Amino acid sequence: MFKINSLLTAVTLACSVSAVNAWDALPREAPAPADNPTTPEKVALGKMLYHDPRLSSTGTVSCSSCHNTMLGGEDNRPNSMGVNGQTGGRSAPTVWNAAFNAVQFWDGRAESLEAQAAGPVTNPIEMGMKSWDDVVARLNTIEGYKKAFADAFGGNAISKDTATKAIAAYERTLITPNSPYDKFVSGEKSALTEQEVRGMNKVAELGCTGCHSGPAFNGPGMFQKFPMHSNGMYQAKYHFNKDLGLAEVTKKSEDEHKFKVPTLRNIALTAPYFHNGAVKTLDEAVKVMAKLQLDKELSTEELSDIVAFLNALTGEFPEQKMPVLPPTPGTTFN
């Protein structure tokens, strides 16, 4: 069961993390839970399921529709589009390096990649299937999936549990190491420019790493209130307070406007920004964060330096070859 209270305790502890602890290179492998060890067969199956729009009610939306592994791991939309052209109220988080998040979704309602993978499929706005029983029944009619599930899990293995485990196993391979920042902290001091180093130091000086901590700059498991400081101009322009965040899950007033701390990895590729995708540019996002979270006004030089550093967090993306999906000869679901 999702331990929301223990996670909130972890937030208090994690917010005291020193800036020094943030300067770690990203691991090249993500840890897997004991009940879902990563295997090539699971990853291959998970990749197929992740890219298969037949997991949606209309046969038009897949996981990759909103979390595009050919781009920055999301869809560069303020609000993602699901079945029948519907849109939700939040911007899709990146799937790249999501394996290093302790919780998933903006409101942290899923405690694992496996739990996250189960949600969108039956969300009426996202993929629109009525139930996971319907998903399993559909997959059982596709001969190629019967073999792929048997190879990954053995026997007659098609189920919600095995499908979500396979998707999570694939997502744990979506890691982007070896950014200029990673090279720098690993000893290659020429990997960052002087401006990028200034930006890195300014990020620490301002206190950004108090929350954006750890190798993924995501303060694993942390929630943070946003915005911390009121500003009438930004509120009128970006409407940040319309979303109650964590309180949508806990129904507690003290959790209003708390959100999972997002990764800064590859942030230059994931515009627009914030939970509602209201801010179009990285420069503006940095200004907004400085004012609303730290009550700081940045000079033009400080802003430029920080943005330069954030660009240096773009890593190397593993090559993604699109899977050949199991066919359904002579028939369709829609």
Q: Which residues are catalytic?
A: 126
Comparing CA positions, the residue from 203, 220, 187, 216 lying closest to residue 286 is: 203
> With contact defined as beta carbons under 8 Å apart, do 120 and 127 qualify?
yes
DSSP classification of residue 162: H
- Is residue 284 within 8 Å of 237, Cβ to Cβ? no
Does an H or E element contain 260, and which? strand 258-260
Identify which of 325, 322, 321 has the alpha carbon closest to the alpha carbon of residue 52. Answer: 325
Cα–Cα dist 96/73, whole Å:
5
Residue 57, token pair as written in the block: 């009610």
List, as one string, the DSSP characters of 227-243. Answer: -SS--HHHHHHH-GGG-
* Single-letter residue type at 295: D
Whole-angstrom Cα distance, residue 198 to residue 188? 16
**Is 322 exposed, middle or buried, given 0-12, 13-18 or 19+ CB atoms closer than 10 A?**
exposed
Distance CA 253, CA 305 (A): 37
CA-nearest of 328, 322, 325 to 138 is 328
Are 47 and 325 in contact by the 8 Å Cβ rule? The answer is no
Q: 82, exposed or middle or buried, with CB in 10 Å at 0-12, 13-18, 19+?
A: buried
Contact partners, residue 155, CB within 8 Å, separation at least 6 = none
